[in-house]
Amino acid sequence: MTKNRRIATDIFNGLYGIEAIDKFIAIEFALTESLDEKENEIWLHLLVALSYMQRNGHSCLPLNVLAGCTWFSDPGLSDVVEDTDTKTLDEVKVGYRFCALTPLIGVVKKALLAPNISSLFVYSQGVFYSRRYFEFEQEVAGQLANRTRFVNLEEQALSQVKALWPAMFPTSMQAHQDWQQIAVAKSLVQHFSVINGGPGTGKTYTVLRLILALQAMDAGLNIVLAAPTGKAQQRMTESILSNIAGLRGKVDDTYLNRVPTTATTLHRLLGIREYTVATKYDQYNPLNLDVLIVDEASMVDLALMTRIMRALPDHARLYFIGDADQLPAVELGNVLEQLVGHSAHDAPHANLDEAKLGAVPTPLRQHIASLCPHLPLLPVDEDAKTWVHTLQAPQRFKGQIAKVATAIQKGEADAALANITPGVDELADSTTYVSVLQSGVTMRSEQDISKVQLQRMAKESYATVFAATTVDDALKRLNKVRWLTPIRNGSMGVEGLNTLIYDAIKHNIVRREGSFYQGQPIMITKNNHPQRLSNGEVGIIWPDSSGKLYAWFETQEGDLRHIALSRVPQYETVYAMTIHKSQGSEFDNVVLLLPKPESAKSASLFHRGLVYTGLTRAKKGCLIIADSPTFKDMVINLDTRYSGLANAISEKAMGLSEVSQ
């Protein structure tokens, strides 16, 4: 083993972009007996590659992406090669070229003959896994496959839903399909469904009507609402309450009053404890609920999904709500994208044959027709994936933002740029200014924006907060605008922008206490259950009626509560935030800063999901500050995470189908 540790250590000298954990895994699971020296070299590099991929959100490593390719080479290698200085060339990290696919598979299979290796790693159908994540995928797939089977409604339940339907949906004869109605009808006969759609496509509209229909089936159902973050939880509560108000007078209050209006975070629901993988609720102590509805499901990672499935009672229904084109979870896995499938990266149904749009198996078509005789019949496909419902026809999200967002979804960078209003000519006077608060989508070049202009934008964005007369008014003004960026460091990162904005508005500050000041926006960066604050929640520092400063936050009911400054948990000032942190939030106007990546490594992290998520936080207008090449590169670069979950679900579902036959 000593020799192998030395070999393992030596190989790192030529690899670019690896970290300590990659080195540890390679050294820890190096082999001496099962493999010869050349095979062991391949195996060590395979372990480094697997660790690297897991760090970057992939649950597995398809061996065909390695075969015959050079990995871990310095992006600046080509520049060095042109230099005749041999010493410099020797110092550069040249990476490692993997062998062809067949011998690569042979090395993995041979390594897995060792018991200590086979207990920790898995090879399956050309894909290399850590056993932990392989078993997570298999466990989730088995649970979901069981819940996606068609289950006919009892006659009484169907009759009760039919009676409620006209109060929820328009029932006049329609020439075009109503995908919201279709999604609800399909979800009633399956214990797992995904309702997928971009901003304004009516996800909350659909979810509320699904809840009402479920209650019509069984008034005693215990329905629980949850989301991955505190902010998403808050937004879910607000949306449900707003939509309930719109149904008053149309739907009997008996139904509306039973709708759950308080969401919780998934971590709190499951009883996930800090610094441990254990949960209060699991397969041995399941949750006490009949229906679980999870909003912002794109944030759910593979480990969290596994915990959800373990804690879910066998009879319970699970519904995922989200937008598969938004950013995936911070941790490993892209569960929602795997559930939705390839259509996640297209405009909804864009590439499907019209004749096959929304195709379903015969029993499901009959069920939908019984509930919705006023809608066109869906085409038949006995092998269709029935548990994914992609909503169309934006109800709120229209106009220029929708056009640009749709082009970004499809990876059409030129079309996105064509729909963006360009900023002033680059040769224009340097004092020329583009307002942050205009409607639509406007773009200015990063190089064309001076520090003076950014400061002017900062004043327009946030100086009005300090003119508020009440804390409620201050919070509303604060949440009208938010600056978003993909990075934390540098002048165009969160830290640099927050400093710039503070310098622009600091003369408005009238009251301070320690590091806090009146009008300061703060974001909680760590869950704190005693204070009922979750990571990502945004509040404001503002005085009470006596003039004493407090930290104020919105409650789930839309009210305000305050806590003493001494009890504020870990936080950061948040005029600007990362795009990741903004997920689940909405603002009237967004300033989206997309700086040119500093390196080839950072460029790979600038991708389509960041642009799409940042843009779609804006309800009215978005000012993009980016050079056209940077913007185009990001739109073209799709952040694909390798996973075997979709295939595993298909295989499990096929197995269940064969058993039932």
250 marked ligand binding residue? no
348 marked ligand binding residue? no
Closest by Cα among 223, 217, 205, 305 to 259: 223
Q: In one letter, which amino acid is 548? A: K
199 marked ligand binding residue? yes
Find how far residue 523's CA is from the centre of its chain. Answer: 19
202 marked ligand binding residue? yes
Closest by Cα among 328, 251, 291 to 59: 328
200 marked ligand binding residue? yes
399 marked ligand binding residue? no
Burial class of residue 322 (count of CB atoms within 10 Å of its CB; 0-12, 13-18, 19+): buried
DSSP symbols for 340-385: H-GGGGSSTTTTS-GGGTT-B-HHHHHHHHHH-TTSPPPPB-TT--
DSSP symbols for 209-243: HHHHHHHHH-TT--EEEEESSHHHHHHHHHHHHHH
**End-to-end CA distance of the chain, in Å?**
53
Q: What is the DSSP letter of 272?
A: B
SS3 for 321? strand
d(CA 344, CA 346): 6
The H helix count followed by the E strand count for the chain is 27, 24
- Answer for the pair 654, 383: CB distance below 8 angstroms, yes or no: no
Q: What angle do CA 173, 177, 182 make, to 5 degrees?
A: 105
Closest by Cα among 357, 332, 386, 411 to 653: 386
DSSP symbols for 18-80: --HHHHHHHHHT--SSSS-HHHHHHHHHHHHHHHHHHHTT-S-EEGGGTTT-EES--TTHHHH
d(CA 125, CA 390): 30
204 marked ligand binding residue? yes
d(CA 409, CA 219): 40
614 marked ligand binding residue? no
What residues does 483 pair with on adjacent strands?
Answer: 576, 591
- Answer for the pair 148, 656: CB distance below 8 angstroms, yes or no: no
Find how far residue 374's CA is from the centre of its chain. Answer: 35
Q: In one letter, which amino acid is 250? A: K
Binding residues: 197-204
Binding residues for ATP: 197-204
